[in-house]
Structure 1
Amino acid sequence: MAPSLRSLICTCLLALLPFSSAENRLTSTSLNACQANSSFSATLFDVVFTPNNGTFAWDVNGVSTINGNVTISVNVLAYGLNINTQEINPCDQEELRGMCPMREGPIKMDSNAKLPSSALSAIPGITYTVPDLDAKVRITFNMTNTGEQVACVEAELSNGKTVDQKGVAWTLAVISGIALVSSAITSGLGHSNTAAHVASNALSLFGYFQAQAFIGMTAVELPPIVASWTQNFQWSMGLIGVDFIQDIATWYQRATGGTPSEILSDLAETSVQVQKRGLELASNIIKRAGLVARQSGGESTAADTSTTVIIRGIKRVGFRAGIEPTNIFLTGYIFFIVFIFFVVLGVVLFKFICEGLVKAGRLKHDQFQDFRNGWTTVLKGILYRIVVIGLPQMVVLCFWEFTQNDSGAEVALAVFTVFTMIGILGWASSKVIRLARRSINMHKNPAYILYSDPVSLNKWGFLYVQFKATAYFFIVPVLLYVLIKGLFIALAQESGITQAVSLVVIEAVFLIAVCIMTPYMDKKTNAFNISICVINFISAIFLLVFSDVFNQPGIVTGVMGVIFFVYNAVFSTVLIIIVLVASVIAITAKNPDTRYQPMRDDRSSFIKSQSQLNTELDALGATARGESKHGFTSSKGARIEDDDESWSGSDHSKPVNTYADPPRSPYGPPSDQASGRHMPPTYQSQPRTASPYDQSHTNSMTSQNRAQYGANPSPWQRGAGYD
């Protein structure tokens, strides 16, 4: 690596993450084979180098099938470059006399040596401070007589510094929660425009976190810094290592006929290789180790009974989080259920707290009135929103469980959960599309029905409020995008290249669709989401490079790994600041809606709030229309969202005080030309067709109505073009 480039990389890393440690050291705890049919393998490999006192301690248990004298070649590689090479003859080293000559059978080396000052000075000081050091030592064994390479092993070096920090993960989770809670509170206070913006940005931010987690779950061999960075986002997939949750998952699996894995509890006897090499290599090592142990006829050692396990993708993520491979699905599932439970509990508690404060006179009667009157409907909408948030997580974990079959009960849970969630969201999306099309047919504007009913808005609004009214259907491409992406992550764990190529295609198609259609509610929200799509697409390209499909030099992979971390860290920080500032202002500002321009689809003209019906005439009008306090409905009539074909006006035998009668002010709807004003913009440019709810009024009639009922229009019609 060129000195200038190396200095630039190190400077960027140290500026972003100024790690400190009480003592500098380099360690390695795994020795992986780097050659097919390697004649040497290690079942225990623990090496510690402490530069402060120059000590080099190692504890190695291995198995050898080599007979004769060998020369050992040691190569130190950093970010793909060979920075140091040494040739060692075991016969010339006091500590290695046990390998002169090498013989078939178990090998045990346990020693503590002192390195010369010349060796210490050759190691750059930056080596001990760069997080997730991408360095390894490659050791090859060559026969002294013939020069034939008979074995190759690699040891990855670590300085103990990493960007995988629990504090970072918890901070990201808390900020996401604050954004979602602030949007709910803002909506309850009546600031629907602000609530829609904050909720949309919070969900997009959470989606970006899950996209980062997807990168870490692929079977591609990631650079160390990329694997550590993406590990910070695995909480968004429910993969959080908690001891008692692991105990519950293990007990459940055993109780339902499964066989739990014991990799984490048997690390002393299990060599775990975090890489992408095929199982055939590990299989050969295991078979050869057993053969040598039997031929030696000696006492049983750790080498006789040890196994080698290769983990990749989802298992790699679980291993780093301290989760057994057989507990990964159930861990994510349990945290998803726990999340739902606490959300429901929070909503119920908030309902009782509000009622208690109102009775105690601490809260105004009209505050959170919509929530207090229709809190069950709001709860349904929140649960639907949780299904959307949890869809990426459950698609990956459930479909992956189909390939693992940890137990029959877990497979049954996976089948029930994922197909139920897909069915719920598919049905809800079709409901929104039907409502929007009905609104277009009758009012030439999809926003009319989608936003005029508080019950429908609270229940189904999570699917369309983040989009402009004309893009009400865009939730379907979003759900398909998540579903297809999750399927490739879950079902293609044996091929990292397949996953990388598929993600590039998926992200490219979704980016093009968002850029062309600009479906979100306004320019700022479109820019926010397009920027996330761009970063996801760039990350997919980087992932394709990491898969080694281009057979690029190691230095390219190493440098691109650092760049991946830097631009994602900066981008994440910017997104978090934007969402956090918007959330704080939404709660603290007196009128946060002034920060946002009115929607061009004029949705605010149709949104009707219960708390705004504050006059006797409004109450009388609501009664005449057959509206209950929870929405536009009578006790026997059909609601707008119900699939009642008579609502279109073809069946006039139905009562007129049903939800078929759209919301109208008690002053009567004005004419299109009244006072020189006009009705809200329509979805189509052609002239509006007659609707059974439209009434023609002249300017004089409108003036009469105004004189009779007062000069001010109904509060929920202000700003809609009616006043």
Structure 2
Amino acid sequence: MRFSSLRPLALLTALASVLLGTASAEPMLTSNSLNSCQEDSSFTASLFHVVFTPNNNSASVNIVATSSVEGHVVFDFAISAYGYEIMRKTINPCDTKLAGLCPMTAGKIPLKFNIPVDAAAIKQVPSIAYNFPDLDATVRVFLNMTDGKTDRGPSVACVEADVSNGKTVDLVGVKWILAVVAGLALVSSAVINGLGHSNAAAHIASGALSLFGFFQAQAMLGLTAVHLPPVVQAWTQDFQWSMGIIKAGFMQDIFTWYQRATGGTPSTIFDSLTTVSVQVEKRGLPETAMNVFRRTASMMPKATALMRRANIQTGSGSYIVYGIQRVAFKAGIETTNLFMTGLTFFCLFVLITALSVAAFKGWCELAAKQKWIKGDTFLEFRNGWLTVLKGILFRLTLIGYPQMSILCLWEFTQVDSPAEVVLAVFFFVGMTATLGWAASKVIRIARRSVAMHRNPAYILFSDPQALNKWGFLYIQFRASAYYFIIPVVGYTLVKSMFIAFAQGSGTAQAVGFLLIEAIALIGASVLRPWMDKSTNSFNIAICVINFINAIFLLIFSDVFNQPPLVNGVIGLIIFFFNAIFALVLLLVVIATTIIVFVRNNPDTRYQFMADDRASFMKSQSQLTGTTELEALGATARGDKAGFKPGLDLDDDNESITSDSMRRRTDSSMLGARPMSNSTPLGGNGHHQGPPRSPVDPSVPLFPAAPNNGDSRAPSPYNGGQFRQQNNASPAGPRSQQTASPWQRGAGYEH
């Protein structure tokens, strides 16, 4: 074969010239799979590996093809880049003088040779073409029968090869930067909270969780079975670490052994790369692949179960991967090891975090004893670190729920081994039940607070046990939106179901994503449930990006039957669009975290929140006076004898299996314990009537009854003055005609 036929291949890279590029030690253009683009193709290749290196003016070709074509054929080459066909050329294989091609004979055709490249072809390739990451270029070849008089006979085969330059945006360094920033933001929020700056800590934690959720949303795009352009595939691969998809060589060996030991059959796709090719799905490939799979399975019934659990294998012997399998292959993980990989890293994450908290507790005690730190530094954490640890573990459950729900549900469809299915059931049901129980607990506490104080923030933020253990579910929302964690968990669960159960239909996934993201965007924009304006803007912006990505995903599913050029252009747009937005989010989180650490009082950076949660929070370092409000706050927090045991808002020994649920929902027991000496009691010592506040409502600190139909009674004290004197988050003077802090946040202003 004369390499002048590669001249069109040189031209296709010129169309991909973009300002993004990196230096390469040795420029090259490669192709590692020959994909079938015709269902009744009579020519296939189980191995296809071509490398063009301009520095030595040669191309290395290694092909193992199977042909059922006999006779003279011509090769009709179509070269395209980013969906745009830039060259079409017909080549007669008889000019190559290679055995088996002129005329073509039936059977297996092994071809391994080097071809010299003329200098004219090399000069037509711009240097940036070898450096542009994730080049989207394709060479499609039609094999047409010919009688020697015409080159346009019937097509008997169609194959296509994807061309790459070896450069990609899927970089280890990018993954580390993303993970470190998100991790440090979460750790910083815990440290700031331990130092007593609860307002700043809540904002940092909310931003870090939203950032991590955006990372997981990007990863979910890559897990869909919809065809994604190469640059989008690589970009979403940068976020798969947030789903626990991280390769560790020794772990893969352990997982393979475990699967065999528990009755499974592991896939060995990476062990066969030297003899077979792996086709990463392209436009329209999944439907063709499934047709090939069905024909192959019907001829080999015993192999059906293995191919269902592992990767689809064509009749020629090559593999086809798409969706979740594509992500696993690009991460270097066997498909049958993917579930155990995600599960193991989630468990390690939880274990390392728990050990770190315990170690930090030990260090604090040692430092206080050795006078390295002040005796009251991290005092609340040191006194109630077990409750704080429980809250942290609950928060990790919420963070890891998207990854575990997807992997567990997907494992139900794969059945890698009976033991792995049992693990999937245990973790999925356990985590779902845990989050559901925690959400119901928050709702019960908030309703009790509304019944007693007409404000959900009162007990949610005044009780340190409730705040430290359950606060991860509601602290990022305004007090009146304490319930919003239920829509968040439901959103995650439904999205996970579409990803796990609809791997065979990219269109169904794209439509499902569009509906889910549209509902999420509308709900976030209308309800605006987060704690303040800036946090709402931050999260609504993420919802907008997720909705736009869902629209692009629907376009990639080809439901509009658009030309390939549209997909190529949109692929570049979605990459730059999401990369810029991710950079902005990172900079915002980094800047916010740094500012918090350099300020003497970081709480002053944030506006005092409308629900007045800080007025209810326990802070011994800030409430040091002997005012009536301090006494009221201490009573609400249970600091006075008899209040906490009587109210019993949160019991650390309480569990899902206990009778606490019955006691909390039994109306006859809501007022079972006396709340104060002035509370009217029945003959048996129980309350008569609904639950009441532990403080006499005649105390002037409570708002007066509304006058003249005005639902916003004036506050009996100057709230701004109180905060300036007793709170670390002053918000400026407030008029005496503003709404009472006992009503703000309870839904009166929304």
Short-chain TM bin: 0.7 to 0.9
Is 1:416 the equivalent of 2:426?
Answer: yes
Superposed displacement of residue 80, structure 1: 0.9
Superposed displacement of residue 10, structure 1: 3.8
Superposed displacement of residue 20, structure 1: 1.2
Within 5 A, what are the aligned runs for 1:163-562?
A: 163-275=169-281, 276-278=285-287, 279-283=289-293, 307-562=317-572
Q: Tell me which residue corresponds to 2:18.
A: 11
Counterpart pick for 1:54 among 37, 50, 57: 57
Q: Tell me which residue corresponds to 1:691.
A: none
Q: Report if the CA contact (8 A) 2:215-2:239 is conserved.
A: yes
Q: Tell me which residue corresponds to 1:692.
A: none
Counterpart pick for 2:115 among 99, 113, 116: 113
Q: Report if the CA contact (8 A) 1:70-1:90 is conserved.
A: yes
Q: Take 1:632 and 1:182, find their aligned partners in 2: how far apart are those partners?
A: 35
Counterpart pick for 2:162 among 156, 167, 171: 156
Superposed displacement of residue 617, structure 1: 9.9
Q: Take 2:295 and 2:28, find their aligned partners in 1: how far apart are those partners?
A: 30
Q: Report if the CA contact (8 A) 2:79-2:87 is conserved.
A: yes
Superposed displacement of residue 305, structure 1: 10
Q: Which amino acid aligns with 1:35?
A: Q
Q: Take 2:131 and 2:39, find their aligned partners in 1: how far apart are those partners?
A: 34
Q: Which amino acid aligns with 1:158?
A: S
Q: Tell me which residue corresponds to 1:99.
A: 101
Q: Deviations over 1:643-680 (max 9, x none)?
A: 5579999646547599x997879xx995148xxxx689
Equivalent residue of 1:113, what SS?
strand
Q: Tell me which residue corresponds to 1:578.
A: 588
Q: Take 1:670 and 1:442, find their aligned partners in 2: how far apart are those partners?
A: 15
Q: Deviations over 1:663-699 (max 9, x none)?
A: 879xx995148xxxx6899xx97589xxxxxxxxx99
Q: Per the alignment, do residues 608 and 44 of structure 1 end up closer, same or farther by CA in structure 2, a change over 3 Å counting?
A: same
Q: Tell me which residue corresponds to 1:137.
A: 139
Q: Which amino acid aligns with 1:423?
A: A
Q: Deviations over 1:70-110 (max 9, x none)?
A: 1111221111111122221111123x343111111110111
Superposed displacement of residue 576, structure 1: 0.3
**Unaligned 5+ residue runs, structure 1?**
291-302, 689-697, 703-711
Q: Per the alignment, do residues 121 and 624 of structure 1 end up closer, same or farther by CA in structure 2, a change over 3 Å counting?
A: closer
Counterpart pick for 1:28 among 27, 31, 53: 31
Equivalent residue of 2:286, what SS?
coil
Q: Tell me which residue corresponds to 1:68.
A: 71
**Unaligned 5+ residue runs, structure 2?**
1-11, 301-312, 652-662, 680-690, 719-723, 732-739, 743-750
Equivalent residue of 1:179, what SS?
helix
Q: Which amino acid aligns with 1:603?
A: R
Q: Deviations over 1:406-465 (max 9, x none)?
A: 111111111111111111111111111121122122211111111110110111111111
Q: Report if the CA contact (8 A) 1:63-1:289 is conserved.
A: no
Q: Take 2:125 and 2:432, find their aligned partners in 1: how far apart are those partners?
A: 55
Greater CA drift, 210-219 or 258-267: 258-267
Q: Take 1:680 and 1:309, find their aligned partners in 2: how far apart are those partners?
A: 74
Q: Tell me which residue corresponds to 2:746.
A: none
Superposed displacement of residue 538, structure 1: 0.3
Superposed displacement of residue 612, structure 1: 4.6
Q: Take 1:25 and 1:132, find their aligned partners in 2: how far apart are those partners?
A: 13
Is 1:639 the equivalent of 2:645?
Answer: no
Q: Per the alignment, do residues 172 and 492 of structure 1 end up closer, same or farther by CA in structure 2, a change over 3 Å counting?
A: same
Superposed displacement of residue 637, structure 1: 4.1
Equivalent residue of 2:516, what SS?
helix
Instruction: Give aligned-pair identity as a percent.
Output: 51
Superposed displacement of residue 615, structure 1: 7.2
Q: Report if the CA contact (8 A) 2:243-2:342 is conserved.
A: yes
Q: Per the alignment, do residues 124 and 473 of structure 1 end up closer, same or farther by CA in structure 2, a change over 3 Å counting?
A: same
Q: Take 1:148 and 1:229, find their aligned partners in 2: how far apart are those partners?
A: 40
Q: Report if the CA contact (8 A) 2:603-2:729 is conserved.
A: no
Q: Take 1:680 and 1:419, find their aligned partners in 2: how far apart are those partners?
A: 48
Q: Which amino acid aligns with 2:203?
A: H
Q: Take 1:499 and 1:304, find their aligned partners in 2: how far apart are those partners?
A: 24
Q: Take 1:523 and 1:687, find their aligned partners in 2: how far apart are those partners?
A: 22
Q: Per the alignment, do residues 392 and 685 of structure 1 end up closer, same or farther by CA in structure 2, a change over 3 Å counting?
A: farther
Greater CA drift, 273-282 or 42-51: 273-282
Equivalent residue of 1:164, what SS?
coil
Superposed displacement of residue 641, structure 1: 3.4
Q: Which amino acid aligns with 1:483?
A: L
Q: Take 1:23 and 1:717, find their aligned partners in 2: how far apart are those partners?
A: 58
Q: Per the alignment, do residues 85 and 625 of structure 1 end up closer, same or farther by CA in structure 2, a change over 3 Å counting?
A: closer
Q: Tell me which residue corresponds to 1:42.
A: 45
Superposed displacement of residue 136, structure 1: 1.1
Q: Which amino acid aligns with 1:86?
A: K
Superposed displacement of residue 122, structure 1: 3.6
Q: Tell me which residue corresponds to 1:300.
A: none
TM-score (ref. length: structure 1): 0.86
Q: Tell me which residue corresponds to 1:293.
A: none
Equivalent residue of 2:76, what SS?
strand
Q: Take 2:480 and 2:217, find their aligned partners in 1: how far apart are those partners?
A: 27
Q: Take 1:182 and 1:272, find their aligned partners in 2: how far apart are those partners?
A: 43
Q: Deviations over 1:359-387 (max 9, x none)?
A: 11111111111101110111111111011
Within 5 A, what are the aligned runs for 1:584-595?
A: 584-595=594-605
Superposed displacement of residue 268, structure 1: 2.1
Q: Which amino acid aligns with 2:612?
A: D
Q: Per the alignment, do residues 653 and 68 of structure 1 end up closer, same or farther by CA in structure 2, a change over 3 Å counting?
A: closer
TM-score (ref. length: structure 2): 0.83
Question: RMSD of the alignment, in Å?
Answer: 3.6
Q: Deviations over 1:519-539 (max 9, x none)?
A: 111110010001000000000
Superposed displacement of residue 177, structure 1: 0.2
Q: Report if the CA contact (8 A) 2:296-2:314 is conserved.
A: no
Q: Take 2:116 and 2:335, find their aligned partners in 1: how far apart are those partners?
A: 40
